[in-house]
Chain A
Amino acid sequence: MQKRLAAFVLLFGFWLLLTWSVEAGFLVVGLLLCAFLGLVIGERSPYNMSLLNPVRWFWFLLYVPYFFYYCVKANLDVAYRVLHPDVPIRPGIVKVRTELTTELGKTFLANSITLTPGTLTVDIVGQDLYVHWINVQTADPDEQTRIVVKRFEGLLKRIFE
């Protein structure tokens, strides 16, 4: 039931943003549609009510500018490597470990790693992430984990766990 309610709240918020109108017709259709969809997909959705906790949203709001800072940095990094005449890359796939346990947390971590400087998540197996790194700085796995994963792990832990 909790999962269905959470799915309904998220779907209805999405509907309000998408239609951008408070006319009764839109609201009634949206309510019916979201209630139906919430009932159908609720049990399968990864969300539960704890995700609507304001403390998590506070950390999420902090996470957004933090993420954008690294996203812009990643783009300038790629721009430098692409425009440099020698194409200065030292690529490789490294294996790093994460402490996050929830599926949603790991998904966000993988997405964040992909959009940040020089790294691209290839696969997640259990607690291991295989990350393609365009400029491998060190051969030491602990050091690699520190550089690639720790940047986001603390914040994501507060948001999703």
Chain B
Amino acid sequence: MSELIGSILIGIGVAFDLLGTIGLVRLPDVYNRLQAATKCVTLGTCLILVGAGVAGGGSMAARSIICAVFILITSPVGAHALARGSHLGGVKLWEKSLVDKYEEDAQQIKRGLQQGEGNSAAARGESS
């Protein structure tokens, strides 16, 4: 029984992963593609892991749930780093995009970054 439920979960997970990759092909720019890739692939992969845990049981369940939690925490951070890096590196939004507040404030943010490099150690000391 648990094997059947596990297989169904893995199947749903693979379907979400597939949707994410279709989004990667069909959507127009880096940021939209990241949206599809992050959301679908995170949930899809977590479902695959949970499915494996349900089918395996015991220690396998504990480990696969830990892996799922790690993916839930790290994958949005990775998407954030990619989006921020591409924007600061000059990748433009799709031409039909409506607003880009980040571009409007980009000069200020870059200046803040350059200043921040000098005293980032001090800032870290303060925040702890």
Are A111 and B43 in contact, CB atoms less than 8 angstroms apart? no
CB distance from B62 to the nearest CB of A (A): 5
Are A115 and B80 in contact, CB atoms less than 8 angstroms apart? no
CB distance from A46 to the nearest CB of B (A): 8
CB distance from A81 to the nearest CB of B (A): 8
* Stretch among A13-21, A52-60, A146-154 lining the B interface: A13-21
Q: In B87-114, which residues have CB < 8 Å from any A CB?
A: 87, 93-94, 96-103, 105, 109, 112
Would you call the interface of chain A mostly helix, strand, loop, or mixed? mixed
Residues of chain B contacted by A92 (CB below 8 angstroms): 93, 97-100
Q: In A67-107, which residues have CB < 8 Å from any B CB?
A: 71-72, 74-75, 78-79, 81-83, 87, 89-95, 103, 107
Q: Quick check: is A132 within 8 A (CB to CB) of the other chain?
A: yes
Would you call the interface of chain B mostly helix, strand, loop, or mixed? helix
Q: Quick check: is B6 within 8 A (CB to CB) of the other chain?
A: no
Are A75 and B58 in contact, CB atoms less than 8 angstroms apart? no
Are B43 and A71 in contact, CB atoms less than 8 angstroms apart? yes
Complexed CA–CA distance, A63 and B62 (Å):
21
Q: Quick check: is A120 within 8 A (CB to CB) of the other chain?
A: yes
Are A121 and B27 in contact, CB atoms less than 8 angstroms apart? no
Residues of chain A contacted by B14 (CB below 8 angstroms): none
- Write the chain A residue with the least CB distance to B74: A111
Complexed CA–CA distance, A67 and B26 (Å):
27
Residues of chain B contacted by A14 (CB below 8 angstroms): 66
Q: Quick check: is B77 within 8 A (CB to CB) of the other chain?
A: yes
Q: Quick check: is B40 within 8 A (CB to CB) of the other chain?
A: yes
Are B93 and A93 in contact, CB atoms less than 8 angstroms apart? yes
Q: Quick check: is B76 within 8 A (CB to CB) of the other chain?
A: yes
- Other A-B contacts than A75-B19, A123-B109, 4 sampled, CB-CB below 8 A, are A81-B23, A93-B100, A123-B84, A130-B105
Closest 9 CB pairs of A and B: A20-B59, A114-B76, A92-B98, A95-B101, A92-B99, A111-B76, A82-B23, A130-B102, A132-B31
